[in-house]
Structure 1
Amino acid sequence: MRSGPTSLGPFDPGFDELPGSIPLFPLTEALLLPGGRLPLNIFEPRYLAMVRQSLMHPARLIGMVQPLQAGADRDLKSTAVPPLQQVGCAGRIVAFEETEDGRYMITLSGLARFRITHELPRHAEGFRQAAIDFSPYHEDMMERGFVLADRDHFLDLLKSFLEMRQMGVDKQALAEAEDEHLVVSLAMLCPFTAAEKQSLLECPDLDTLADMLTAMFELAIATHEQRDRPLH
């Protein structure tokens, strides 16, 4: 999703330093994109163990990926291993807090997307892990020179979409947000289906991501207006 010279934070690993395998966190409708931030509330024992293991490695990476069947991750008592989407996004733990009731509150910073080549045996503490390939998404770790083609039209659609969904909007924050941050954050936060979020994740670049978001807003608004139109 990026192009141009590399743009990494002071603690981010370089592309050549990315590992060949990472722990996986399957989570329906949780979308992490390169450059985005995803807060997570961790409470299941296997994922508490996953966080501890990740913190032991310099890169501190966790692979966010959706189950192939939406919701297959929600049965906490199930021992089944639901199949996963093949494309996910690696996030680096950039914030970590322990709670009094035994949870971890963490924030992942989206680093780069990956393709699962094959799953590895489950870790002894129960979480899934996989061998992955970052190479198709090398540009995710490059500088993005992105500008919305028609920012005013995009914001008008967004406001109509949020009003339709009865969601509040901070107009000042929208006006001040940089184009890249705006598009990435909206793709992650808007209430789309799991399949729609996977489509957003797999967009080849930010221009395509913005176009797909625009189309989703337009379709949702048109469907809502059609449903509310009188039949006489």
Structure 2
Amino acid sequence: MVSLADRYRRPADLPSRIPLFPLRGAILLPGSTLPLNIFEPRYLEMIEDVMSGARVLGMIQPVGSEQQESPPERHVELRRIGGAGRITSYQELDDGRFAIGVTGISRFEIVGEAETGKSYRAATVSYDRFTSDLTRGFGEERIDRARLIGVLRSYLTENNLQTDWSVIDRAPSEYLINALCVMCPYGPEEKQALLEASDLKTRAEVLVALAEMDLAARGGSGGTLQ
């Protein structure tokens, strides 16, 4: 089986035109996996088309927090930066829904919206600003992992969250940072800031700063971090 790192080594290995899944509060970063429950007709059509093609789609946030979670109108403005990913798990459910997992490959910048003749949106995109996303582990040596783990431990303890520390200790820093950014319970603006961070070190610093602000505010709720 070909890994994503082997399949996508340079921007030219990725499609320049991709379907878009606008979803407020959702981002996709390299190596992270975003689970999605697909039930709207436009996205059922999109997933069927994606599965019969390159299996690549783009996660993108709509502009403005006042918008619906996934606005249906084509005129709704979208962020310029999103995350491209490949469908790596797919299940068709008895009630007609799809349960999929999308694994991040690279961030992209929208060049222009593309006409699809379909019920979903698509865009011509460029990956040129984010070539380092295609090199796994790029920038890991610059991460203050001890600080990251320390803040994460404090955050989980304060919010009565539990996790398997043996898994976290073994996880590469890139995977750990990107997975936490995707799953963290922050708002659209904070999520976009994490997505658009210039490099892994900056992303880790933003993630730590957000966690420290939460700790200072003593916010949080109980649950389990998977």
TM-score bracket, shorter-length normalisation: 0.7 to 0.9
Which residue of 64, 68, 80 maps to 1:86?
80
Q: Cα distance, 1:87 vs. partner?
A: 0.1
The residue matched to 1:147 in structure 2 has which SS? helix
Question: CA 1:12 to 1:94, structure 2 compared with 1: closer, same or farther past 3 Å?
Answer: farther
Which structure has the larger Rg? 1
Looking at structure 2, the residues matched to 142 and 196 of structure 1 have their Cα atoms a distance apart, in angstroms, of 25
The corresponding residue for 2:132 is 139
Instruction: Look up the equivalent residue of 1:64 and give its one-letter code.
Output: M
The corresponding residue for 1:126 is 119
- Contact 2:4-2:105 within 8 A present in 1 as well: no
Q: How does 1:51-130 map to 2 (within 5 A)?
A: 51-57=47-53, 59-70=54-65, 72-74=67-69, 79=73, 81-121=75-115, 123-130=116-123
Residue 27 in structure 1 maps to residue 19 in structure 2: no
Which residue of 158, 169, 172 maps to 1:164?
158
Looking at structure 1, the residues matched to 153 and 28 of structure 2 have their Cα atoms a distance apart, in angstroms, of 23
Looking at structure 1, the residues matched to 179 and 66 of structure 2 have their Cα atoms a distance apart, in angstroms, of 23
Q: Percent identity?
A: 36
- Contact 1:26-1:73 within 8 A present in 2 as well: no
The corresponding residue for 2:35 is 39
Question: CA 1:190 to 1:214, structure 2 compared with 1: closer, same or farther past 3 Å?
Answer: same
- Contact 2:74-2:121 within 8 A present in 1 as well: no
Structure 1 unpaired stretches of 5+: 1-6, 226-232
- Contact 1:148-1:210 within 8 A present in 2 as well: no
Deviation per CA, 1:49-75: give whole Å up to 9, x if none.
001111121x21110000111362437
Give TM-score, length-normalised by structure 1: 0.84
Question: CA 1:13 to 1:72, structure 2 compared with 1: closer, same or farther past 3 Å?
Answer: farther
The residue matched to 2:152 in structure 1 has which SS? helix
Looking at structure 2, the residues matched to 20 and 199 of structure 1 have their Cα atoms a distance apart, in angstroms, of 24
Give TM-score, length-normalised by structure 2: 0.86
Deviation per CA, 1:147-172: give whole Å up to 9, x if none.
36432332221122223333333223
Which residue of 174, 178, 181 maps to 1:184?
178
Instruction: Decide which moves more: 105-114 or 148-157.
Output: 148-157
Q: Cα distance, 1:207 vs. partner?
A: 0.9
Structure 2 unpaired stretches of 5+: 220-226
- Contact 2:81-2:108 within 8 A present in 1 as well: yes
Question: CA 1:72 to 1:80, structure 2 compared with 1: closer, same or farther past 3 Å?
Answer: farther
Looking at structure 2, the residues matched to 75 and 12 of structure 1 have their Cα atoms a distance apart, in angstroms, of 28
Q: Cα distance, 1:100 vs. partner?
A: 0.3
Superposition RMSD in Å: 2.2
- Contact 1:22-1:130 within 8 A present in 2 as well: yes
The corresponding residue for 1:230 is none
Size of the alignment, in residue pairs? 216
The corresponding residue for 1:4 is none
Looking at structure 2, the residues matched to 23 and 74 of structure 1 have their Cα atoms a distance apart, in angstroms, of 17
- Contact 1:28-1:71 within 8 A present in 2 as well: no
Looking at structure 2, the residues matched to 68 and 174 of structure 1 have their Cα atoms a distance apart, in angstroms, of 33
Instruction: Decide which moves more: 192-201 or 179-188.
Output: 179-188
Deviation per CA, 1:34-63: give whole Å up to 9, x if none.
111111111100000001111121x21110
